Each structure stands twice: as C-alpha cells, then as structure tokens.
Amino acid sequence: MNLSKLVAVSGMPGVFRMVSNRSNGLIVENMDSGKKRFVASRKHQFTPLETISIYTEDDDTAELKDVFATIKENMESIPLITSAASSEEARVYFKKILPNYDRDRVYVSDIKKIAKWFTYLNDRNLLEATEEEAEPVEEKETTDK
C-alpha cells in the first residue's frame, strides 16, 4: 500500500494525487476525472496520507497504512461503518480495529474520515500491496573470483 503521493486537502472532499509541488501550493489530480488543478497553500492545508498516524494509549502511534491494512483484513468479519453511523457505533467499530487507540485524542470525526478515505481508496483499488511491500527484498550474496 503506497500512500506517498496521496494528499488530503483542507476544504476539499476526498483524497488527491499530488502531481507537482510549487512554492505557493500544489498541483493535485482528481483520481476519478483525472483533472489537474492548482491548490494554493495560502488557502488550503495539505496532509500527505503517509504522514498520518493514530494516537494510541501507550503514548505511541499507529500509522494510517497499518490501520487501513487491518480494516482490509477484517472487512468480512467487521463491516465498515458509514458516515451516517452514530458516535457510539464509530467508537465500537474503531475499538475492534485498533483496540488501544486513545479515546481522548481520536475524535469520532477522525474515525469517520478514516472510514471515508478507506472506502474511497479501496473502491479504486489503491490499497493493494505493492510488490515491494509484499515480498521483502533479500540481499544477494556476491562472490569474489
């Protein structure tokens, strides 16, 4: 699962692919239409998905890609919540996915946003493991002749 080029843009729904970086903003691509547009940093904030982590109770964090992997693994046994889910349903769901998440610092809106992002990326098959992640690279032995 490669989240390196994916960004969330404040004030804009969904997830975008970063095409280019400018000194005063980003050029992002809508993954459905393929349209590219400039988004100014004076008006928006950008959050690369690979930098997002979820607070846990043991003063550590869980990376978003690991949370997405857990959601994907458990989709059949633990159905994904919808954006219309109640606060209690969202908290119960997330406790099953990440049992040690920090209930004081992870808000219901964060849980629903994670579910929306997962649905969006999973529907577009962007959560598939890349070959590099699926198989660890082994070092080849070299012999001197």
Q: Around 28, how many Cα atoms within 13 Å sit in the side-chain half-sphere?
A: 25
The domains located in the chain, with CATH, are: 6-48 (2.30.30), 52-127 (1.10.10.1650)
Q: How does pLDDT run across 11-58, given as a tens digit for each residue?
A: 998 899 999 999 999 999 999 899 999 999 999 999 999 999 999 999
Helix and strand totals (H; E) in the chain: 4, 7
Res 1: pLDDT: 67
Facing residues of 36 across strands?
29
Q: In which order are the strands placed within the sheet that holds 36-40?
A: 36-40, 25-30, 15-22, 6-9, 46-48
Cα–Cα separations (whole angstroms), residue 91 to 33, 83, 121, 132, 139? 33, 13, 22, 33, 43
What mean pLDDT do residues 97-116 have?
95
